Structure 1
């Protein structure tokens, strides 16, 4: 059961309107590495968790926090699309410039500036100056962005990536604005992403310490069934051999079950290059030789 508390986890109020930055900030909502992705991903990881209760509870704690982050970002986008107090006063006094709305609907000195700077037209036409579940280019969020496999180690390794990419994008957007209100909220989100990166790394360590999962994932698949001869080989498939200098090319493997080997010139293990057979003629694929029309 979820309950909504009419408070924000942190402030979500810009100093002034900025429709162009509102468009850019959409990436943090509906982008591949945005808050909707971690919110939905953690929820399904938690709902599907069959492991010890501490992992399920931790996933649900963080998933629920991420709902609040989506709310904060959506509110910030909506406020970046509002008319500023100065614009409202000018409009009330009969000035020609009525702010963002006037610019979109027609008239006003701001119109050409907004159009030239590529304000997201959907913010006016579709959402009425509100946030949308889309990225900064208007692409809709989709479930292909999330992972909820039922294997906690596989999922939490992905979660480290998600939090790393998400924090990277917040940091980049921080540099694209001078608004103190936006930067204040970003400072909070950056700090929470710092925690979440460390949280998933700690959870990975604990999963391994608890003996629940290990490398390679899935660790309970019989490893003798894989081709052991290539299991720890690094294969050089590009020009140059600089990659031979890396830790991944020599020494004991990270799972402690093998030894890395550098293969400078990998050879094909299946040298024959067979051709595909023809499909059923009723599927009308291109045949190897001309054929007369087949009767149905």
Structure 2
């Protein structure tokens, strides 16, 4: 059961309306790393959590994220308040009203569809979606995802702080940003309160594959570091000599019964390529200047690129 306290968790003081800034703020309202996504991620994890300590933590933070949703939504509403009043009362000249609504972002959508209230969209007007929730039901997996989510949200708040000089908004955003830090610390503690928290899940990895680093991108820019070199790693640079990892030949195969094998053979015969000859294609028939080489000298070979450029210059 929830009870709403009418006081915000942090006081919102907006110096002046700014519909464009309001639309940017929506990134933390209905965006992928916004407060609604965080609240739903932690609520759903908490409801399915078996450990009482983690369950309590997740529900606590999920509920606080709703209070943050209220703070950022209030900022959006205050930034839109002037535009909302002007649009509702038609107190401006048509041209001025139009300009005030189309300053940038999706401020016009905010004004026309939502009357200046916060919409469940990101800053580009893309609707919020449950696809943002990436929980997997394994605590070591989900806690790591939560830590990353809090980190991403913190970065977005930093960027929002940098694009406004409104001191009241900066204060509120600074509070919200700092709560992301606190939540990350809590999730880190919860993760490391689980013994043997790596790797995620129950099944162990296969030892001979777990210590291998495969240097698949080679050439200028190759770097050595603790992520690919040292006693922890068996590094593979010569891919031709070591791939595939197993004792097979690296090809794909399947065992078919007689009926399926016969049908597959018929399909292969019917769709087989003819490697001999050089068939004339629609490209050959319609080729013009700049098409490059085409089939047969008697098919009206196209001019080369230099000729095509010369022809274009002459036109």
Q: Who is 1:261 aligned against?
A: 234
1:38-49 matches, cutoff 5 A: 38-49=38-49
Higher Cα radius of gyration: 2
Q: Who is 1:230 aligned against?
A: 209
Q: Could you say if the C-alpha distance between residues 36 and 101 of structure 1 is closer, same or farther in structure 2, counting changes exceeding 3 Å?
A: farther
**Does 1:4 pair with 2:4?**
yes
Q: Who is 2:94 aligned against?
A: 107
State the shift of 1:239 in Å.
2.4
Q: CA RMSD in A?
A: 2.9
Cα distance in 2, alignment partners of residues 186 and 101 from structure 1: 31
Q: Who is 1:27 aligned against?
A: 27
With a CA cutoff of 8 Å and minimum separation of 6, indicate the structure with the bigger relative contact order: 1
**Does 1:147 pair with 2:134?**
yes
Q: Give SS of 2:6's match.
A: coil
Q: Give SS of 1:122's match.
A: helix
1:164-203 matches, cutoff 5 A: 164-203=151-190
**Does 1:138 pair with 2:125?**
yes
Q: Could you say if the C-alpha distance between residues 155 and 7 of structure 1 is closer, same or farther in structure 2, counting changes exceeding 3 Å?
A: same
Q: Is the 8 A contact 1:100 1:110 kept in 2?
A: no
Cα distance in 1, alignment partners of residues 250 and 89 from structure 2: 66
Q: Could you say if the C-alpha distance between residues 80 and 27 of structure 1 is closer, same or farther in structure 2, counting changes exceeding 3 Å?
A: same
**Does 1:217 pair with 2:200?**
yes
Cα distance in 2, alignment partners of residues 262 and 146 from structure 1: 36
Q: Is the 8 A contact 1:171 1:190 kept in 2?
A: yes
Q: Who is 1:17 aligned against?
A: 17
State the shift of 1:76 in Å.
1.0
* Cα deviation digits, residues 207-238 of structure 1 (max 9, x gap): 2xxx3x421111x3144xx3x32221111111
The alignment of Structure 1 onto Structure 2 pairs a total of residues equal to 256
Cα distance in 1, alignment partners of residues 64 and 222 from structure 2: 41
State the shift of 1:244 in Å.
4.9
Q: Is the 8 A contact 1:99 1:108 kept in 2?
A: no
Cα distance in 1, alignment partners of residues 43 and 17 from structure 2: 33
Task: Give the TM-score, by structure 2 length.
Answer: 0.73
List alignment gaps of at least 5 residues for structure 2. Answer: 261-266, 272-315
Cα distance in 1, alignment partners of residues 33 and 48 from structure 2: 21
Q: Who is 1:72 aligned against?
A: 71
* Cα deviation digits, residues 95-124 of structure 1 (max 9, x gap): xxx589749x86253633542434432212
Q: Is the 8 A contact 1:14 1:80 kept in 2?
A: yes
Task: Give the TM-score, by structure 1 length.
Answer: 0.77
